[in-house]
Chain A
Amino acid sequence: MAKELLKGNIAIAEAALRAGVDAYFGYPITPQTELLEHMSRRMPELGRVFLQAESEIAAINMVYGAACTGAWAMTSSSGPGISLMQEGLSYIALSDVPAVVVDIMRGGPGLGNIQPSQADYNQLTRGGGHGDYRCIVLAPATVQEAIDLTVLAFDLADKYRAVAILAGDGLIGQMMEPAELPPMRQRSRTPPPWALTGARGRPPNSITAFSIAAETLEAMNWQLQAKLQRIREREVRYEAWLTEDAELLVVAFGSVGRIAKTAVREARAYGVRAGLIRPITLWPFPYAPIAQAAARVKAVLVVEMNAGQMVDDVRMAVCGQAPVHFHGRPGGSVPVPEEILERIMTLSKEG
């Protein structure tokens, strides 16, 4: 298929359709509204469910309900809406049903603003709601990767019966780039054996995020943890670029990952051996590759569009092998390559 010039938000929506989403529930919020708009047109065209909920709380609980019937359900929002969804995400996590959530992050906290941000990192990667759980978190750096990771989000959510979150930001959502969409996937509409489809002719299924008995709930928790451990072992994804001979390692994700790439390229032109690790899965986090790369470098620089969140994971990965520095822009400001290059050059002189 030929490349098209696609806006991130539209690309994500269209990729979800082609991956096989059955039902979309959402509530508009900038900078992701084009995603919902696209769904409002395309889902009815395809005979699928589009519903604009009365709030994000309603939307995530509709996702929960639809997922319990075996449907592939999704929602999308931005920071403030994602915060409202945390209770529902926690219920979905213990219920072992698949769901896909898109967060096109904007400046926070509070109402914040509508500019790009990565300040939902902690909320997305730590579970966000109450109880012990994690969501799979995928962070695209290009419109093409936003498409590919949207498809992957559905496949991983389905495979592990887990929540998969696509963590973009206003920049990825609003920018346009040539990209190629996958063909429309033909899906079998047979519901999985655990789905709530009316128990006619079979023993009833039960899906719940509750058990009054401590021993039962503990067992459910350990089962959930075992699943999360399998995900940790199998699903780590990252991009390593020019790390083999690097003496300075930059770690950045999503749109900042690509901005940092320009800075690393320019640093190389000045003779500084910089390299980049860009986590693609924010959870599970690529601790091991960062640890291995950090063993060979003089310093690590973490760049984020926030006041410092992923830097904690990088510190855990590096584990004292090299000093970890941080450059952050919170509140909706986007770092430019020049300021990252400046930090790289300063650090290389200190080394």
Chain B
Amino acid sequence: MQTSVVIAGFGGQGVLFAGLILAYAAMDKELYVTWYPSYGPEMRGGTASATVVLGDEEIGSPVVRHPDIVIAMNGPSFRKYEPLVKPGGMLFYNASLIADAGTRTDIRYVAVPANAIAAEIGDTRVANAVMVGALAAVTGILPLEALVETVERHMPPARRAMVFPNQEALRRGAQVVAGLGQPVAS
């Protein structure tokens, strides 16, 4: 069983870091995982991305055309990835910045007001972690507490001040979608 996640947004929205939270947590859970960043010219086009593939068997391809799950942090990413989500998959989107209405009936949309929640926490930089918390709560691919612990365990010394805001963001993201959860078996 493998799950592929693409996290996409503007450069600066922390899409690579959001992917790292998932990747480190997967490693800590002794799962197989790959993390692959966009590092080319698309970084300037509004859709920087990280692709995370995780599961309980050796991972072949670290790249996917049709991800199971997408986190869209901004409008361009929503529009780029909406048609690419695998049928039956999920699209989590940052409802603070994305007003678009979903057009597909074969995927599930989860709206998360990530920037608004991050602002309440007091640091808009953790909107990415809000999305990851929501993803964990709805999909069950990784337990929320594993993500919270991972942030504590792997945050580099120079960024220790960001541990608590990120943990808070993960929890608030999970809370805001509470009740929507239909954990998928993994």
Interface residues of A (CB under 8 A from B): 3, 5, 30-31, 113-115, 170-171, 174-178, 255, 258-263, 265, 332, 334, 336-339
CA distance A262 to B4 in the complex (A): 13
Distance from B170 Cβ to chain A, minimum over Cβ atoms (Å): 18
Given contacts A170-B39, A175-B34, contact A262 B27 (CB under 8 A): no
Known contacts A262-B60, A262-B61; 14 additional CB pairs below 8 A are A170-B39, A171-B63, A176-B35, A177-B33, A177-B34, A255-B62, A258-B59, A258-B62, A259-B63, A332-B40, A336-B63, A336-B64, A337-B60, A337-B65
In chain B, what residue has the closest Cβ to A335? Answer: B63
Contact A174 B61 (CB under 8 A): no
Is B125 on the interface with A (CB-CB < 8 A)? no
Q: Which chain B residues border A113 with CB–CB below 8 Å?
A: 40-41
Contact A175 B24 (CB under 8 A): no
Q: Which chain B residues border A259 with CB–CB below 8 Å?
A: 60-63
Contact A31 B39 (CB under 8 A): yes
**What DSSP secondary structure best describes chain B's contact surface?**
mixed
CA distance A175 to B35 in the complex (A): 6
Given contacts A5-B23, A5-B24, contact A334 B63 (CB under 8 A): yes
Q: Which chain B residues border A177 with CB–CB below 8 Å?
A: 33-35, 59, 62
Distance from A239 Cβ to chain B, minimum over Cβ atoms (Å): 12
Contact B36 A171 (CB under 8 A): yes
CA distance A265 to B32 in the complex (A): 17
Contact B27 A175 (CB under 8 A): no
Distance from B52 Cβ to chain A, minimum over Cβ atoms (Å): 9
Distance from A289 Cβ to chain B, minimum over Cβ atoms (Å): 20
CA distance A95 to B27 in the complex (A): 45
Distance from A162 Cβ to chain B, minimum over Cβ atoms (Å): 31
Contact B62 A171 (CB under 8 A): yes
Given contacts A3-B27, A5-B23, A5-B27, contact A114 B60 (CB under 8 A): no
Distance from B65 Cβ to chain A, minimum over Cβ atoms (Å): 4
Is B37 on the interface with A (CB-CB < 8 A)? yes
CA distance A255 to B60 in the complex (A): 9
Contact A175 B36 (CB under 8 A): yes
CA distance A13 to B13 in the complex (A): 29
